[in-house]
Structure 1
Amino acid sequence: MNIDKQLVRQRFGRNLATYHEQAVVQRDIADTLASALLAACPAPRIRRAMEIGIGTGFLSRHLLAAYPAAEWHINDITPETFRWIDELSHNGPIHYHPGDAETIPYPEHLDLIASASAVQWFDDIPSFLAKAHAALAPGGILAVSTFGPENFVEIRRILDRGLEYPTLDTLRQWAIQANYSILHAHDWTRRLTLSSPLDVLRHIKKTGVNGTRAETWNRHTLADFHTSYRTSYADPEGNVPLSYHPIVLILQK
């Protein structure tokens, strides 16, 4: 599907503060991605690096602490995010690149490109992998987290729409086709437990991840969603799940 990038930018921009508080899964994913990256890539190798889709700095705080002397290039489609970087300590220079990471030019000869929970918004992940490969120096690292097919599966089954998520095997195939070596690749699922289907909608709104289309809710559509979600997924206490399906990849040129 073609994603409305302007809608994504607007919704993340409006919800940055609540995202930072509510996006507990994305924070944990950034922690996991950083751990996998640091195991694969020691600090002395990273002199010039780029982070794509910084959000509120969940991954950035790890990167700037691990590679403090590197020259950093920072990107996000929502420029308001850059203020979170200004609050983090760093020694090396930082260059800001606002805009859609699928279309903006990348710096050359990068030792590292990293991105947490952003590339699922891209229209063409294989083209992104090729673009990143061209920007990396020989031996450079691409460290990425995204999401798999079980992500938000409850919502997508009820509404019959949402992002199209590749499997881990598909991502591996795309990486090999783009001439990467795979240093690390794994996925897992995590289910949040929320009090009601309406809390599910509040959660995704507060984390800004409802940017695929402009949704118009009314009393009837909300009631139908609430009934379908509870009928399909509620436990005996009335709580309902929301599934996340993170994927982490560490690739080398």
Structure 2
Amino acid sequence: MRIDKAQVAQRFARAHQSYKTHAVVQQQICQQLMAKMQQYIVQQKLSDQPQPCFENVLEIGCGSGNLTDLLLREFQIQQLTLNDLYAEVLHAYLHHPQTTSTQIHGLIGDIEQLDFPQSLDLICSSSALQWVEDFGALLCKANQALKPQGYLCFSTFGPQNLTEIKQLTGQGLHYLSMDALQQQLKQQGFEVLHCSEQLESLSFEHPKQILQHLKATGVTGTAQGQRWNKTTLTEFYRGYEQFSQQHSSQQKSYTLTYHPIYCLARRMP
């Protein structure tokens, strides 16, 4: 499916204020990714300093700053380049820097069309690379931009992500499997340090709340052909009954599935 990046940027910009409140799973994914980075990179990189030091870091799709805040808190970074599709997300970091020891730069636009900063120690991304259309080409650019032994660490989503929505509407991204991600990493000259996946489910009292949740997190950027009216909403609510659960004394709940995949890799020397 061809992704309309302008529409994606518009939807996420519109959801910017509500994202941090509603993107509960994405926040947890950032924390998980950071924990894995600390486990697989920090111990290897610097065992004699309280914080690992990176001279030059690029974050792809920084969004509301969940991962950015963790990077600035957990690592010593000399230069941090923040990328996203729209400039509003960088305002807090470029105009009100949270750290005096890190030089923060903006790189606004579609990362597939932009030149990467060079001589990077670390490229990281959380819950953003599923929007990339040519993942192999992006990995190639990442490999060329990284120093030898530089790290690429990211979370993305797998084929079961938002499966309920895709089954009911036919709308959704084409997600790569964990095996496919590992294969592409190896093909582009990376040593895979870690790959893992999990399923996370959110529960809602009514399918209407699920649509509100997706809108508040900007995910409706994929719904290019979906038009909601009274008839389509009624059909959606009725169809969502197949994904409902009801325990003996509890109110019926409706699930929404997320399928995060975590990959940590290193450029071959």
What TM-score comes out, normalization by structure 2 length? Answer: 0.90
Structure 2 match to 1:216: 227
Structure 1 match to 2:47: none
Q: Unpaired runs of 5+ in structure 1?
A: none
Structure 2 match to 1:150: 160
Three-state SS of the structure 2 residue aligned to 1:41 is helix
The two structures, once aligned, show a CA RMSD in angstroms of: 1.3
Three-state SS of the structure 1 residue aligned to 2:193 is strand
Query: Partners of 2:162 and 2:97 in 1: how far apart?
Result: 32
1:188, distance to aligned residue in structure 2 (A): 0.3
Three-state SS of the structure 1 residue aligned to 2:239 is helix
Structure 2 match to 1:33: 33
Equivalent residue letter for 2:262: V
Query: Partners of 2:24 and 2:101 in 1: how far apart?
Result: 28
CA distance 1:173–1:69, shift in 2 (3 Å): closer
Structure 1 match to 2:105: 95
Which residue, out of 44, 63, 71, partners 1:63? Answer: 71
Three-state SS of the structure 1 residue aligned to 2:63 is coil
1:89, distance to aligned residue in structure 2 (A): 2.7
The size of the alignment, in residue pairs, is 252
Structure 1 match to 2:256: 242
Task: Write out the 4+ residue segments of structure 1 that deviate beyond 4 Å after TM superposition.
Answer: none
Q: How is 1:122-133 mapped onto 2 (pairs within 5 angstroms)?
A: 122-133=132-143
What TM-score comes out, normalization by structure 1 length? Answer: 0.96
1:87, distance to aligned residue in structure 2 (A): 5.4
Query: Partners of 2:180 and 2:71 in 1: how far apart?
Result: 27
| Contact 1:108/1:136 (<8 A) preserved | yes
| Contact 1:64/1:90 (<8 A) preserved | no
Equivalent residue letter for 1:144: F
Which of 153-162 and 36-45 deviates more? 36-45
Query: Partners of 1:8 and 1:164 in 2: how far apart?
Result: 15
Deviations 1:124-164 (A, max 9, x none): 11111111111000000001100001100111111122111
Q: Tell me whether 1:7 sits opposite 2:7 in the alignment.
A: yes
Q: Tell me whether 1:77 sits opposite 2:85 in the alignment.
A: yes
1:33, distance to aligned residue in structure 2 (A): 0.7
1:167, distance to aligned residue in structure 2 (A): 0.8
1:107, distance to aligned residue in structure 2 (A): 0.8
| Contact 2:171/2:223 (<8 A) preserved | no
CA distance 1:69–1:167, shift in 2 (3 Å): closer
Q: How is 1:44-63 mapped onto 2 (pairs within 5 angstroms)?
A: 44-63=52-71
Structure 2 match to 1:162: 172
